[in-house]
Structure formats: structure tokens, C-alpha cells
Copies of this chain bind each other. A is one copy, B any other.
């Protein structure tokens, strides 16, 4: 069974608050709580040959923060589950990495459970809040597509590490894969200013995550080849299909582009307009005067 088939099977069991979003969104009073959870497993999501425990903890924080960023939220509280053979200095290093990453984003660890396990695993549940949640749903034909950083560096790291020692790998690739920077500040501002019509974080690759936005809204997209920002040392393929970028991918109605330009200046952060939503339910790459249909491929651990 693939992950998608599994999700279809369990949909009937999920609460009415479950939507196909980065976070579960629940209204209480005048604001919304955002809930997300993500896990990392040794040998599946990371290898100890190139991940130290500090980085595992840091990355666990970052991938969960990235979901809250995609929801336009302010991260508040985290609960940790940790499975480990033994508790040692390494477990403390892990915890310091997690703590540091969450603290930088203003979140605190309020609880957890540590259990014995022959395989090291960790999962975090992170709760945030927002007045205006950003959702995958809401995009319209003609909205422009933006990404928040150059893409493909995390995937390029995995290509480099097959052949090189960790200390021979360019810093930007190491940061992208080992200590990704979640777009918390950007997500909060986009939400406050109500700029995007939809938002998602790129965790499984630009094309796959864009296809999620498209499916949720019954639309398609054109990507402009020359506008897609490619990380230094990464390939165009990696920018399109590589996972774990943790950039925000969001759509903006044309009338909000001026507001976005002002935000760009204020944050001193370049945002990249890479395409536009279309009516036809397909994703095309515009290369010069050609339109090449792209496959919605991406990563599924459970696919055979």
C-alpha cells in the first residue's frame, strides 16, 4: 500500500477537523490553533555517518516549524517522543539541537515521552496559533506562484555525500540538509498581511507540493524555467523534484503583488515568482516557446 492509498483508507476515521493541510487548523475564540507532527527515523530519514545528534534534534524542530510557517502561525508549544537504545550524552546533544531550533522560533518544549527502542526515532508535535491561517485551499486561476528560497540544495547534499566526506561538501548544502531554516518569520508576515491565496511548505519537492496546491483547488500551473531559483551546486532536476527544501510555496493574487514587494523590502529577503496557476489540471514547464508537461513525481517511502 502506498502512503496515498493509506491516507484514503483512513480518511473516514479522521475527525471533521482533518483537512489535507500542513497543519490541522482549529478555531478557538478569535484565533486558530495549528497542530502538526513529524517524525525522523534512523536509517530512513538520516544516517549517523553524516548526522550528529545535535543536527537530528535541530532538524526535527525545523521540519515541524516549517509546517507551522506554512500555516502562517506563531509556534508556541512542543511535545517530544524519543525512542533510543540508551540515554547518554548523545541524547542530551539531540535535545540541545531541538531546544535551540525551537527557542530561535519562540517555541518551548512542554512535555514528552522517552522510550526504549533498538532504532533511534524521534517525533515532535508542535502547536502554533494565528489569526489568519494560510491554507492549501483558496488559490484561483491567474494567481502567481512564489517560492521563498533557492531550491534543490538539500537533494544536492545527498548526491554529494555519496562520494565525498562531510568536510568537503559546500556549506550551503550542509546547512540546507542538516540545519534547514524554517520560514517562520515569512509565514507570519504573509498571514498578517493576508497576501497569499494558498500556501504549502516544500518538503517533498517543488513539483509534488505544487501539485498538492493544484489538486486542492482543481487547477494546474505553468512554471517558468528561467525563473526557478536553483541553489548553488544543485541541478535543475533537484530544484524541481528534490525533497526537504523547507521553502514556502505560495500563490498570490495579482492585486496583492505590491503588498508582497513591500514585504520583501521590509524582510530584506528575495522572493521568487516562478509561474502562474491555470485552469487545466496539469503542470507545465515553459521552456522558451515550448510547454513541457511535468510528472507529479516525488518521494514516497512506502511505494514499492
Q: Which residues of A does B touch, CB under 8 Å?
A: 1-3, 5-6, 9-10, 13-18, 23-24, 26, 28-29, 35-41, 43-45, 77, 79-81, 83, 86-88, 91-92, 95-96, 99, 108-119, 121, 123, 125, 127, 301-302
Contacts and interface: CB of A to CB of B under 8 A. Distances in A.
13 contacts: A1-B86, A1-B88, A6-B87, A6-B91, A13-B96, A13-B109, A15-B110, A17-B77, A18-B111, A41-B117, A115-B121, A116-B302, A119-B119
A43 B38 CA distance: 23
A16 B87 CA distance: 23
B79 A81 contact: no
B117 A121 contact: yes
A29 B26 contact: no
A36 B111 contact: yes
Stoichiometry, as copies per complex, reads 2
Nearest to A108: B15
A36 B125 CA distance: 10
Given A18-B109, A99-B13, A119-B117, A125 B87 contact: no
A247 B147 CA distance: 51
A79 B37 contact: yes
Given A77-B17, A108-B16, A113 B302 contact: no
A92 B13 CA distance: 10
Contacts of A2: 87
B121 A35 contact: no
Contacts of A23: 111
Identify which of A26, A37, A95 gathers the most chain B CB atoms within 10 Å of its CB: A37
Highest count of chain B CB atoms <10 Å: which of A3, A38, A116? A116
A20 to B, nearest CB: 10
A109 B10 CA distance: 10
Given A87-B302, A116-B301, A302-B116, A79 B35 contact: yes
A175 to B, nearest CB: 23
A151 to B, nearest CB: 23
A80 B39 CA distance: 10
A17 B116 contact: no
A77 to B, nearest CB: 7
A117 B14 contact: no
B117 A123 contact: no
